[in-house]
Amino acid sequence: MKRMFNTVITRPLLVVYTLTVTLFTPFSVSSQSSYPKREMRSTWLTTVRNVDWPMKGASAASQKADLVKMIDSLSTLNLNTVAFQVRCNADAFYQSAYEPWSDLITGTRGKDPGYDPLQLCIEECHKRGMACHAWLNPYRYNNAAGGGYGWSGKHDLPENYEHTHPEWILYFPNLGSPCAIMDPGNPEVMQRVKEVVGDIMSKYDIDGIIFDDYFYPYGGTTNQDSLSQRLYKPAGVAPSDWRRENVLRMVQGVYDTIQAVKPYVTFGISPFGIWTTSTAAAYKEGITLPAGVSGGNMYAEIYCDPVSWMKAGAVDYISPQLYWTTKHSGQRYDVLCPWWADLANRFGVQFYSSMSTDSYSRNVANYSLQEMQTETDINRSSSKDGAFGFIFFNTKAFCYDSKFRKAFLADQLRYPALQPAINWKPAPERQMVQNLQLDGSVLTWEYADTDVRFAVYAVPNRFSARPGIYSMGDVLLGQTYTTTFTLPAGVTAASHKIGVAVIDRYNNEYSLRLYGEQLGTPVATTLVEPFDGAVRKLPFTFRWSRVAGADSYILQFARDEAFQDIVFAQEMTDVEFSTALRLNLSYLTHGTYYWRVKTRIPNAGDTWSEPFSVTLSAADALEEATAGNKTKGVWTVMGTYLGSTVDNLPQGVYIINGKKVLR
């Protein structure tokens, strides 16, 4: 993260809260909950320069105890994800097949700390129903603050890359912050980054991989990569375009590696908060830049082009570093946040803004507690796809600042939340849990597959018949990786409807099983509009019939009838959905697509409707078919057979015999 080196950070006393305090707060269900049921809630748990952890010079036992306390503290604040920095400078906070142990753990590069920090972090997160994302810096090798160029003294190892692969390293001695990086233009470096990610996924039960904004160095690149340019840059290609392409190829390679090994592992990148200030670059992509925004052009300085990553489908989410307040004149958070949310939506990826608690902790002007809460609310209001989320840099305020914790827990983080689903990737259907039992306050159940998680709900009896009640954020007790859950005080089978739902590794949720209730019968909805075989011009609205007792519906829109190539999926309680909320649809090629809707009835199981096809067309209206395709009132419109008389067509406007006809 670019802003982490501004000050020397001293470590305050860790505030630890017991787990039972905040897992559940008595709620009053409103007609429409303001608390999202799904939201990525994370912090950057920063290890470089020992910013958050571990404390310099601490023993292994102390380090382990501190990490556990920090994760516990985050959990009690209803955060659900930790972005744990495990590769700062081509080093490792885990058992790496390629790189030495980080000196930030023991003080000596290459020295085994006697335990595995990443494994510990994963285990402690999963114990609390939290996800762990491994945070890597793909290129950074060294910097002046880390000891200059090369690893001198105790950090100079024979296996360091400046010895084994000196051609991989680029040196930037004349920058304001001198540094050395691994050469993004060298194909072997691209391969090594892929190998490092693959190594982590093969050894660890990780939930996500995330990169931050260190690509080419801040301050600019001139001729440091001249060797790679001579060897690898195609003739006639500008160095700037070639450098951006190098980063894109690395990102694509990492994404492909993840899909080949564990496609449910979420991949995100956190770029600088301003994509570009170049109107020419924006015009080339058909993008309008946010009004009134000025600042660094990292598209040209560090060759960071998140638009290219999203356009290539090479990330699952984007988390731009919006480390400015709503009061900044040239980089206002309330301008940039909705702009980035719409940009991510345009390319069908999720948006989780990164926000600066670091500046709040250092009492920087305008970074107040109220500002942090306001930015969180703006983040939520900017989402069109229901995939809310944020990652705060850094972690200290969430662990150490009791005033900060109390305010967020009373408002923005009052209830737990599930991580947003990566629901455009095909996943097998899951059955309900079995043998749901309650012994005192301990809820247990059985499930054959261990590679899942579970969401636990409790609804006061007086609200249990309300449609969509299990889709509200107020009623989620928490998430667990095990088949047992201890209910909080005040929640009993006599006072609440208690249920458990399966969550797969993509974060898809499946049908809820209610304690003490007989199983019901699944009921499929009937699709209404657009009718099967319809031709439509965007935007239009999907509609389907309401099913008695249904809690929610999941709409899928795909390129194929088997729904293996999903364009988007959306979970909702309503029975209609406008394509205007999915900006990526506007960039689809014209042709035939398929849609269907899953009905979710608590205690009855999920069931899909029959699929319908719809042809996206650039036409303004449905045109009359040629005379040869009209027989006894049976019409073919835009080449798609409707199979009914004109009188039986669904309501809409048609052009028949040159006249508009309203049905």
Q: Render pLDDT for 379-421 as a digit per residue (tens, 0 to 9).
A: 999 999 999 999 999 999 999 999 999 999 999 999 999 999 9
The confidence score (pLDDT) of residue 280 equals: 95
Position 555 in a domain: no
Q: Is residue 498 located within the same domain as residue 379?
A: no
Asked if the structure places residue 9 within a domain, the reply is no
Identify whether residues 157 and 80 lie together within a single domain. yes
What residue ranges in 262-410 does DSSP mark as E strands?
A: 266-269, 317-318, 350-351, 353-356, 388-393
Which among 489, 514, 539 is the end of a domain? 514
Residue at 46 is within a domain = yes
Name the 3-class secondary structure at 635: strand
154 and 271 within one domain: yes
CB-based contacts of 34, cutoff 8 Å, min separation 6: none
Q: Of 470, 497, 514, which residue is a domain's last? A: 514
**Is there a single domain that holds both residue 369 and residue 441?**
no
Same domain, yes or no: 294 and 402: yes
Note the pLDDT tens digit of each residue in 173-221.
888 888 999 999 999 999 999 999 999 999 999 999 999 999 999 999 9
Residues 387 and 489 in one domain: no
Residue 572 lies in a domain: no
201 lies in the same domain as 275: yes
Strands 350-351 vs 317-318: parallel, antiparallel or unpaired: parallel
- Using the 3D structure, point to which of 468, 486, 514 is the last residue of a domain: 514
Residue numbers in the chain where pLDDT is lower than 50: 1-32, 620-649, 651-663
Do 31 and 25 form a contact (C-beta atoms < 8 A)?
no
**pLDDT at site 3:** 37
**Residue 56, in any domain of the structure:** yes
- Assign residue 139 the CATH number of its domain: 3.20.20.80
State the CATH number of the domain containing residue 501. 2.60.40
Residues 191 and 311 in one domain: yes
Say yes or no: 194 and 287 in one domain: yes
How many independent structural domains does the chain possess? 2
In angstroms, rounded to a whole number, what is the distance separating the alpha carbons of residues 358 and 400? 12
Q: Is residue 420 part of a domain?
A: no
**Predicted local confidence at residue 174, as pLDDT:** 85
Same domain, 389 and 438: no
Query: Is residue 398 located within the same domain as residue 456?
Result: no
Q: Are 488 and 89 spatial neighbours (Cβ–Cβ below 8 Å)? A: no
Please give the pLDDT value at position 148.
59
Q: Is residue 604 part of a domain?
A: no
Residue 654 corresponds to which amino acid?
Answer: Y
Residues spanned by the domain of 406: 40-410
pLDDT attached to residue 35: 87
Q: Is residue 301 part of a domain?
A: yes
Using CB atoms within 10 A of its CB, is residue 410 exposed (0-12), middle (13-18) or buried (19+)?
Answer: exposed
- Do both 159 and 100 map to the same domain? yes
Three-state SS at 614 = strand
